[in-house]
Structure 1
Amino acid sequence: MIAASVTDYRELSRRKVPHFLFEYIDGGSYGEVTLRRNTSDLAQIALRQRILRDVSRIDLSTQLFGQMLSMPLALAPIGLAGLNARRGECQAVRAAESAGVPFTLSTVSACSMEEVAAAASRPIWFQLYMLRDRGFMREMIQRAKAVDCPVMMFTVDLPLPGSRYRDVRSGLSGADNLKGAMRRTWQVLKRPRWAWDVGVMGRPLSLGNVAGVMGADAPISDFLAWLGSNFDPSVTWQTLDFIRSEWDRPLVIKGILDPDDAREAVKLGADGIVVSNHGGRQLDGALSVARALPPIADAVRGDMTVLADGGVRSGLDVVRMLALGANGVLIGRPWVYALGGRGEAGVRHVLHLIEAEMRVAMALTGTTSIDQIDRTVLARGGDS
């Protein structure tokens, strides 16, 4: 199969990785209403086509958190992403680096931050959850400093995990560990190439950053159960002062959907926020990112950097998010689909596609630099 778009890579990944792993990446919570809204609402944003303008020189470069990027894009943190290919996060970080954009490593990555940092020549960004175990969090922060991580992203929209029914049906989560393990084993046997390349040659199959507290041989289901039991529902904005005191570099709060919460992030002293509904994996029925973004961007304009994450499937979508008020965009599922489909080469290809699509979208809207993309690029009613 020739993958010419993110949609193609989704199908390629579905064919290549075990069913439980594809469902974990692809699925959302409950009825997946918000998951669908993220893409459908964004696709409905109309852009204003302009003609007879000199668009012979288009510059996609921009600066985020003091870093010069080739385009206003970063790879979002995705748990278990590295299991989609052999030492997958290391492959993905090399692809991101070749494209001139940052890679953000998840707390629950297959490869540890030290391994991924060693695979890159530029520092990686790191994402951390707000957990009950403050000692573990301090350790993660110190490890991130040790690998010279320039940006820390704190995910705050998980006081409790949303119910993801696909994971129950696939055997990844649920009460019956034995039955789930048997179901996952059968799914792995149906993907012999993945079983050899990742399951055998890609060992150790553990979540590198938390292996120290869980043990390297613990099954994936145990890792997820440990993480779920360690989310802290008592966290408040005052609690986050702990983070600000421990981390003296750019701090980004991920999981903002309301303007009032964005203003609280400004008071905290955060350097940026990510407007995100966790990819439709938490509160089903919540606003899509495309609908939530404009009033949030208006509320904190000039006070902090605003990133958007949710529903982006093309370079055209990146331009839409920028026009709605984002300074930069995160992509999650697209790079993981590509990783599962073709490894590092797939991620490189998806980033190339996004860049090319952005150039076309900018040319046809009469813009030649990122700072020219604002709401004047939207067609009348295009941000409604």
Structure 2
Amino acid sequence: MVDFLNYNEARELAKAKLPRGIFEFIDRGTGDEFSLRHNRRQFEAARILPRVLTGGSPRSQKVEIFGETYSAPLLAAPTAFAGLVWFKGEIELARAAAAYGIPFCAATEAITGVGEIATAVGTPIWFQLYLWDREELSQDLIEKAWTNGARTLVVSVDTPVLPKREYNVRNGFDIPFRFSPRNVFDVATHPRWAVGVLGRYLAAGGLPNFANYPPEYRANILSRGSARSMSLAPDLDWDCVRRIRTNWKGNLVIKGILRADDALLALQIGADGIIVSNHGGRNLDGAVAPIEVLPDIADAVGDRLTVLADSGVQRGSDIFKLLASGAKAVLLGRSLLYGTAIAGSAGALRMMRNLGEELDVAMAMSGCKSLKQIDRSLLAKA
């Protein structure tokens, strides 16, 4: 049974279901978690200035992105380890997105490979890329995504090095997992996860690993020394992205933009879209919140780029505020992982519907019958 009415209820249910290490990997930020808190404060500081007597029904949330029409201005964000919150969690989440009529973006660091997800879902998916230190391996993965029907490539550029997340160290949550009395007890006290997720992987033939990695680099979550180490590209720069643009025939989206001048550089190299994002407050602690810089970025690029946004969305009103600030659509990360952890595809779909219903209320209360009517005039000036 899917029994939650909002983000916070789902978060508490997911917290009870998941081992601490997995829950905190999803839930927390980095450093002193200033950016995590700041994202929330900036949403709360933004105030809606509603119109009256201009709404009514029917209302529509339909949006066109890269020539495809979707039911709502939402996207399932690429998230690592979705396959650890539920057995084959990436497939569950992708199926929910297809049922709701929104895009799903598969992640490089997924437990389920892009080919298996694409086959299981049967609808086109997006693919997110981290560039590795061996560029030819990254290119092989790009070609694999294309072969499996991905036509939108999302290149993450905000992670030149791994962020410092002390809670992962304390929880032993890394690949491979590091055992301690604390995390052994943690798993033992979450038997439904141990049996329903870890046990099902074992029954299916093996422990989870990063399925998109080349075989020689795949280490399952318990192995030590059995696979070569995979590192991020040490010299990630605009030339790297230019080379991807030259070779990628589909839509190219650059994720992790927080400056208008970087957005203009993305436009210059031929990107089709950008995602204004601080990685959910999980990378650079002290970074600005996307909603702070989104208006300037949207003004700088105009309609020459598709502008998307994410980080810290908890309510439909948050989505409304990002749309009013200049985003065409909004990516959802933590919220959908909480839903998936609770009830697989059904939980993810429930979360999508909850947020969609909340967005509809915000539209109705603000006098908007369509997304085109959501603009900056609906936000009070600070």
Q: TM-score, normalised by structure 2?
A: 0.94
Question: 2:222 is matched by which residue type in structure 1?
Answer: P
Between the aligned partners of 2:82 and 2:118, the Cα distance in structure 1 is 16
Residue of structure 2 in register with 1:95 after alignment: 96
- Give the conservation status (yes or no) of the 8 Å contact 1:73–1:102: yes
> Quick one: distance in 2 between partners of 1:318 and 1:283?
23
Q: Cα distance, 1:4 vs. partner?
A: 1.0
> What's the CA shift string for 1:29-87, capped at 9, x where partnerless?
10000011112211221111222234111010010111110011101001111110011
Say which SS state the counterpart of residue 360 (structure 2) adopts. helix
Note if contact 1:206-1:220 (Cα within 8 Å) is conserved in structure 2: no
Instruction: Please name the residue that 2:184 is paired with.
Output: 185
The aligned counterpart of 2:215 is 212
Change (3 A) 1:198 1:374: same
What residue in structure 2 maps to residue 200 of structure 1? 199
Percent identity between the aligned chains? 36
Please give the secondary structure, in 2, of the residue aligned with 1:130. coil
SS in 2 for 1:330: strand
Q: Is the 8 A contact 1:207 1:223 kept in 2?
A: no
Partner SS state of residue 255, structure 1: strand
Letter in 2 for 1:340: A
**What is the CA–CA distance in structure 1 between the aligned matches of 2:96 and 2:226, rounded to whole Å?**
27
Matched with 2:122 is: 121
Aligned ranges for residues 302-317 of structure 1 at < 5 Å?
302-317=303-318
Q: Does the C-alpha gap of structure 1 residues 357 and 221 become closer, same or farther in structure 2, counting only changes over 3 Å?
A: farther
Aligned match of 2:143: 142
Query: 8 Å contact 1:173–1:180 — kept in the other structure?
Result: no
Cα distance change on mapping 1:9 and 1:225 into 2, 3 Å:
farther
Q: Check if 1:26 corresponds to 2:27.
A: yes
Cα separation, partners in 2 of 1:336 and 1:168, compared to 1, 3 Å = same
SS in 2 for 1:240: helix
Q: Deviations over 1:243-287 (max 9, x none)?
A: 112211000000101111111000110000000111111110010
The residue number in structure 1 matching 2:80 is 79
CA offset digits 1:307-352 (Å, max 9, x no partner): 0011111211111100011011101000001111222111010011
Q: How much is the aligned-residue C-alpha RMSD, in angstroms?
A: 2.1
Give the equivalent residue in structure 1 for 2:45. 44
* 1:283-304 superposed Cα distances (whole Å, 9 cap, x missing partner): 1001011112111111111110
CA contact (8 A) 1:257 1:287 kept: yes
Aligned match of 2:297: 296
Aligned length in residues:
377
Residue 50 to residue 131, structure 1, CA distance change in 2 (3 Å) = same
Q: TM-score, normalised by structure 1?
A: 0.93
For 1:3, the aligned partner's letter is F
Question: Could you give the per-residue CA deviations for residues 211-262 of structure 1, whole angstroms, max 9, x where no partner exists?
Answer: 62323545389899945xx112312212221111221100000010111111
For structure 1, list consecutive stretches of 5 or more residues without a partner in the other structure: none
Structure 1 pair 182/116, CA: closer, same or farther in 2 (3 Å)?
farther
CA distance in 2, matches of 1:246, 1:320: 36
Structure 2: how far apart are the matches of 1:183 and 1:59?
49
